[in-house]
């Protein structure tokens, strides 16, 4: 099955059912399919060729959903972007996968002006409004015009399940983002598996606060479009009480978040004043959640099923889940493989570990990515004969439940984001007067890990100017909360920075 077939099927089965709700606006499956077709037909008319990449620079919204499925229907591949990214991010990503077109919000119109010259592959843009600085020589299409005058009949482009549907860029350990390349088959395998274990039905309505460009948010969208359910979109989680009110008004049945989402809800919201009679389950992924926080959620919402899940973008999102009725018995575990996935923990020699032994999680299944876009070297490092080498170290208990021991890579998990310290260190190094730096993640009650940069300087520097430089070149979530000047960084004999020592130093300083 192709991913855009979800909308066609549900337009026939549940034409008048809400597909999506956003800020009071609603779209049913019949209207959604028509809107998707209009945009897909226009993309085809503008010579989008099968396999062409299309950048999607829209916040989570009904228009995002229309654009996502229209790109697929026209035979293209979706490249969703974080609208909080910097010009440097957009240039790197859109240039790496050589997009043919960009669909964007007019508020981000300045991006086109800044990067247009550097992305010669980009032939046209679709914008939801006019912007005075769009370059004159680029073909422009306007959303309203397409939706008012476009052809709503179903286009047909021959496609196979193996065709590339989406590229999701994640921070790489080298600092350069890597494009996780997913086929229709990958996404479909993961979607149907998640629908199965969460027992999603057409009656389900999920509160979608996680951005759709992010693989967890993407899976919320796909699972609900597959089962004929509804996504209730709201990007205002900065004000959690607003979200709680919407959840109650819209009678949502599911809520999904990362650990920091639940930390904010438990510590900075009115959640205990709500009953949420319609809410059936919550899911948590995106890094480990402390048992104390899990306990708090269970106390605040005792009637809910809580699914703890684990995955990687490289697996289209999901690899394992812990059944809600095992939550207390196996607290701290990421559970077992989801349907259709095989997970094993292997030692350095590729031998399956015995219970209690530490090894690397290796995953196989139809959901495992095709590879990293344009990056065979990185692909070979993780995709081997026996499957995806996750880099995460774990043990398995006697009942087959997996417990993560540590992440073998250097990545920092802060909020919903997986952040490469190297990327930040590279930007710091560009600032005059910096000798070297080390960026670490330190424990944080809300974010899971907060970013701290240790810097060694030549002469006195203006930290305000340094922060300005970082902000210009890094997305806000990559900004270190603290920048600490030190005489020297602790190092091994071979000169490698001993980051764990910095983490320990920081922890001790925080205690005193």
Partner 1 sequence: MDIAQQFRTFIIDNFMLGRSPDELGDDDSLLDKGIIDSTGVLELIGFIEQTFNFTVGDDELVPDNLDSVNRLIAFVTKKTKK
Residue 120 token pair: 């010669």
Those residues with Cβ within 8 angstroms of residue 212's Cβ, 6 or more apart along the chain or in another chain: 60, 64, 65, 68, 80, 218, 220, 221
Closest CA to 33 of 51, 55, 12: 12
Q: How far apart are CA 11 and CA 7, in angstroms?
A: 6
Q: Which residues contact 453 (CB under 8 A, 6 or more apart)?
A: 424, 425, 428, 437, 438, 439, 480, 482, 483, 484
Residue 63 vs 390, nearer CB to partner 1: 63
Residue (83 or 186) nearer to partner 1, CB: 83
51 versus 433: smaller Cβ distance to partner 1 = 433
| Beta carbon nearer to partner 1, 273 or 349 | 273
- Residue 135, class by beta-carbon neighbours within 10 Å (0-12 exposed, 13-18 middle, 19+ buried)? exposed
Using the minimum distance from each CB to partner 1, give the nearer residue, 298 or 479.
Answer: 479
Q: State in angstroms the smallest separation of the CB of 56 from partner 1.
A: 17
Place of tokens 């286009």: 155
CB of 393 to partner 1, least distance (A): 29
In sign, the C-alpha dihedral spanning 174, 179, 185, 191 is positive
Q: Which is nearer to partner 1, 189 or 416 (CB)?
A: 416
Q: Residue 498 has which token pair? A: 């001993």
**What residue ranges bind partner 1 (CB under 8 A)?**
83-84, 235-242, 260, 264, 268-270, 273, 415, 446-447, 464, 467-472, 476-477
State the minimum distance, in angstroms, from the CB of residue 468 to partner 1. 5
Report the residue number, 373 or 431, with the smaller CB distance to partner 1. 431
Task: Tell which residue, 79, 316, 2, 311, has the closest CA to residue 186.
Answer: 316
Identify which of residues 235 and 295 has a Cβ nearer to partner 1 in the complex: 235
Exposure on the CB side of residue 270, measured as CA atoms within 13 A: 13
Place of tokens 């699972």: 223
Shortest Å distance, C-beta 416 to partner 1: 10
Pairing of strands 482-485, 448-457: parallel
Nearer to partner 1, 268 or 509 (CB): 268
Task: Kindly tell me the burial class for residue 137, based on how many C-beta atoms sit within 10 Å of its own C-beta (0-12, 13-18, 19 or more).
Answer: exposed
CB of 32 to partner 1, least distance (A): 25
Tokens of 128: 């939801």
Q: To the nearest whole angstrom, how small is the minimum distance from the Cβ of residue 107 to partner 1?
A: 8
Of 43 and 243, which has the nearer Cβ to partner 1? 243
**Residue among 51 and 443 whose Cβ is closer to partner 1:** 443
Closest CA to 289 of 317, 319, 239, 327: 327
Contact 29, 11 (CB under 8 A): yes
Query: Smallest distance, Å, CB 447 to partner 1?
Result: 7
Structure tokens at 143: 């959303």
Name the minimum Å distance from CB 301 to partner 1: 16
- Could you tell me the smallest distance in angstroms from the CB atom of residue 212 to partner 1? 16
Looking at the chain, how many residues does it have? Answer: 512
Give min distance, CB of 277 to partner 1, in A.
21
User: For residues 283 and 274, what is the distance between their CA atoms, to the nearest angstrom?
Assistant: 18
- What CA–CA distance (Å, rounded) separates 407 from 174? 16
Contact 434, 467 (CB under 8 A): no
C-alpha–C-alpha distance, residues 365 and 310, integer Å: 15
For residue 83, the minimal CB distance to partner 1 (Å) is 7
């Amino acid at each position: 099955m192709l991913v855009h077939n979800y909308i066609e099927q549900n337009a026939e089965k549940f034409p008048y059912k809400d597909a999506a709700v956003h800020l009071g606006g609603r779209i049913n499956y019949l209207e959604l399919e028509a809107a998707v077709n209009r945009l897909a037909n226009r993309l085809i008319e503008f010579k989008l060729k099968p396999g062409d990449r299309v950048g999607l620079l829209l916040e989570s919204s009904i228009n995002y959903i229309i654009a996502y499925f229209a790109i697929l229907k026209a035979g293209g591949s979706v490249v969703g972007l974080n609208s909080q990214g910097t010009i440097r991010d957009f240039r790197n990503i859109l240039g790496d996968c050589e997009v043919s077109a960009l669909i964007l919000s007019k508020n981000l119109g300045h991006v086109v002006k800044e990067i247009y010259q550097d992305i010669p592959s980009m032939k046209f843009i679709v914008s939801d409004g006019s912007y005075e600085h769009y370059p004159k020589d680029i073909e422009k299409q306007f959303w309203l015009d397409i939706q008012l005058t476009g052809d709503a009949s179903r286009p047909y482009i021959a496609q196979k399940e193996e065709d590339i549907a989406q590229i999701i860029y994640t921070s790489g350990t080298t600092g350069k983002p890597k494009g996780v390349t997913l086929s229709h088959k990958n996404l479909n395998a993961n979607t149907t598996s998640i629908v199965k274990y969460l027992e999603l039905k057409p009656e389900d309505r999920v509160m979608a606060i996680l951005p759709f460009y992010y693989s967890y948010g993407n899976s919320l969208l796909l699972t609900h479009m597959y089962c004929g359910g509804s996504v209730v979109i709201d990007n205002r989680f900065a004000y959690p009480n607003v979200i709680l009110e919407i959840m109650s008004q819209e009678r949502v049945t599911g809520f999904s978040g990362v650990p920091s989402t639940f930390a904010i809800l438990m510590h900075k919201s009115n959640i205990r004043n709500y009953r949420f009679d319609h809410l059936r389950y919550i899911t948590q992924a995106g890094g480990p959640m402390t048992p104390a926080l899990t306990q708090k959620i269970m106390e605040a919402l005792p009637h809910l099923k809580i699914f703890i899940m684990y995955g990687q973008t490289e697996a289209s999102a999901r690899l394992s889940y812990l059944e809600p009725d095992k939550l207390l018995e196996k607290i701290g575990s990421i559970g077992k493989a989801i349907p259709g996935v095989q997970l094993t923990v292997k030692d350095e020699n590729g031998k399956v570990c015995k219970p209690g032994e530490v090894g690397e999680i290796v995953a196989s299944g139809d959901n495992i990515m095709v590879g990293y876009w344009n990056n065979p070297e990185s692909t070979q490092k993780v995709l081997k004969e026996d499957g995806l080498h996750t880099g995460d170290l774990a043990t398995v208990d006697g009942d087959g439940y997996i417990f993560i021991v540590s992440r073998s890579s250097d990545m920092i998990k802060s909020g919903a984001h997986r952040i490469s310290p190297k990327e930040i260190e590279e930007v710091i190094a560009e600032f005059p007067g910096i000798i070297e730096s080390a960026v670490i993640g330190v424990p944080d009650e809300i974010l899971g890990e907060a970013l701290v940069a240790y810097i060694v300087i030549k002469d006195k520097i203006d930290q305000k100017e340094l922060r300005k430089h970082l902000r210009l070149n890094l997305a806000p979530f990559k900004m270190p909360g603290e920048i600490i000047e030190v005489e020297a960084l602790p190092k091994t004999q071979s000169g490698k920075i001993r980051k764990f020592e910095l983490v320990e130093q920081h922890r001790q300083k925080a205690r005193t």
